[in-house]
Amino acid sequence: MTRKPMIAGTWKMNMTATEATKLVQQLAYQYEDNYGEIDVVICPPFTALRSAQVILDYETKSKICIGAQDVYWEPKGAFTGAISAEMLKNLSCVYCIIGHSERREYFCESDEQVARKAVALTEAGIAPILCCGETLETREAGEAISFVTDQIRAALDGLPASQAGGIVLAYEPIWAIGTGRTPSPEQADEVCAALRDTFCDLYGSAAAEQLRILYGGSMNPGNVEAFCAMPNIDGGLVGGASLKADDFLALVKAFS
Ligand code: 13P
């Protein structure tokens, strides 16, 4: 079967609401109708979600949809600073990144917390983009595949098959994020194939066939074509190259 490709841009902690407005306008304006079938997602910081929603609603022809970079699993209440899935839904978020290595490292997020986020999102009708990725040390020890498949099993613990349909996985080797270094496309594909096998174990072969797996880590217009050609890579989760409309749309074009 053919899976619909996907490019998701995460702006991380970049772009004020004012700067974000400009970038969303550029993206909506420059997006070409002749791109093929592809899901294009932007994940601005929380503070720019409303601006993105208003602009993309107004640009009715826009094919770009909105994602968030994180969520808290409780539905509401006294959780200062936290953002619920329902709040994201109300801002037209269709996707939400969870388990990013930066959240795991700087905010001490555990697999168990990532699993609770996955459940909260799917219950709210938002598709998780669930990240995994190994350190360079783990790769050099030959343990990349067992490490990332364990991460995915732990994060999906508690997610029933009925809720697993919309999940997107992202393989992001930590040593490739923001460094300009990447694994070879074949190395990345090997890990993505192992992730698909793991998903098959958990949810069956039909679900695994449909599962979209993104590669992330220094993807740019110069290296994207090689990743596109890989059978188990269905798109990209992009940081740095998503901050410039031309670069981001070059990635969209390559995968579409
Ligand atoms: P870069 O594209 O900047 O390497 O970031 C990748 C990433 O972390 C996406 O989540």
Report pTM. Answer: 0.97
Q: Hey, is 30 helix, strand or coil? A: helix
pLDDT in tens, 4-38: 999 999 999 999 999 999 999 999 999 988 888 99
162 alpha carbon to ligand 1 midpoint, in Å? 30
Assess if residue 1 is contained within a domain.
no
The count of structural domains within the chain is: 1
The enclosing H or E element of 214 equals strand 212-216
Q: Confidence band (pLDDT; 50, 70, 90) for 60?
A: low
Assess if residue 97 is contained within a domain.
yes
The answer to whether residues 84 and 141 touch, using CB atoms and an 8 Å cutoff, is no
Residue 214 CB less than 6 A away from ligand 1: no
Look up tokens 């300009």; give the residue: 180
CATH number where 251 lies: 3.20.20.70
Q: Hey, is 205 helix, strand or coil? A: helix
Assess if residue 23 is contained within a domain.
yes
Assess if residue 109 is contained within a domain.
yes
The residue range of the domain holding 226 is: 6-30+37-255
Q: Is pLDDT above 90 for 62?
A: no
Residue 103 CB less than 6 A away from ligand 1: no
216 alpha carbon to ligand 1 midpoint, in Å? 6
C-alpha span between 148 and 132 (Å, rounded): 6
Assess if residue 104 is contained within a domain.
yes
Look up tokens 């053919």; give the residue: 2
pLDDT in tens, 182-229: 999 999 999 999 999 999 999 999 999 999 999 999 999 999 999 999
Assess if residue 93 is contained within a domain.
yes
- 109 annotated active-site: no
The enclosing H or E element of 60 equals none
